[in-house]
Amino acid sequence: MNINWNANNYTENFNFVYKYGEDVLELIDAEKGSFVIDLGCGNGALSKKIVDKGYNVLGIDVSENMIKTAKHHYPDIDFKISDALNFRLLEKADVIFSNAVFHWIDKEKQEIFIKNLSSQLKLGGQLVCEFGGKDCAEKVHASLERNFIKRGLVYPRTFYFPTIGEYAPILEKFGLRVEYASLFKRPTEQKSENGLEDWINMFLKAAFENIESDIKREIIEETVQELKSELYKSGKWFVDYTRIRIKAKKIS
């Protein structure tokens, strides 16, 4: 995962991430009492929703800050710090659920990632997930890229946003048969007053790692002004999200 999360800011200003994830939970149709992994559980909000549906849950996240927050808010749920690429379970899962995680995994590591997920699922188990799809937040990324280039800089595209056609074969390669898949646009309202600026600062840290603070500020200010006519509506900022939602069954 290529980000160091600010757990408090995530919970306060970016709760849309897990609130939208509540819809994805409806794809889980395992029996009550089934063992469910909430992969990339963040602050644990969706883990609690899964427990409320009658499942036994283990929340996994690579962020120590997020796991600390989750344990504080939901002390009766099991959480552990672990990497999505190599986590291991004492008991294989009936369901692996994941919201807004897969696009953070580097493209060249996707097969390692899915191979590991499949290895931790029971035969007949379910993978239920949603993540960024083709052209997710492309208006923002393209504007930033232009403003980087103006300064002789390279804007790193650190996310993996595939189409369904690109992603389904990866799942099938590792014994996961796709039973449902949808790619859809979802313009996403930002909660804070400086919504786009805050979104960039929250989710695009890697792009600015080696950029001087004054140059970073200039780039973000120019991007905000450039996109205001397109993404600022009725006093609110909207980021041009595209999502993929998938349900797959382990068949081998």
**Rounded mean pLDDT for each run of 10 residues along the chain, 252 residues in total:** 49 52 90 97 94 98 94 97 97 97 96 98 98 98 98 96 98 98 95 92 92 98 98 96 97 98
Q: Is 108 within a domain?
A: yes
Residue 68 sits in a domain whose CATH number is 3.40.50.150
Q: Which two tokens stand for residue 184?
A: 């859809």
Task: Specify if 157 maps to a domain.
Answer: yes
Is the residue at 2 inside a domain? no
| 1 lies in some domain | no
Q: What is the pLDDT of residue 193?
A: 84
Q: Is 83 a member of any domain? A: yes
Distances (CA, A) of 241 to 126, 185, 249: 25, 6, 26
| Closest C-alpha among 41, 51, 37 to residue 18 | 41
Domain assignment present for 136: yes
pTM of the model: 0.91
The reply to whether 21 falls in a domain is yes
Domain of 169 in residue numbering reads as: 7-250
Phi, psi angle pair for 236, to nearest 5°? -135, 150
In a domain, 48, yes or no: yes
Task: Give the model's pLDDT for residue 197.
Answer: 97
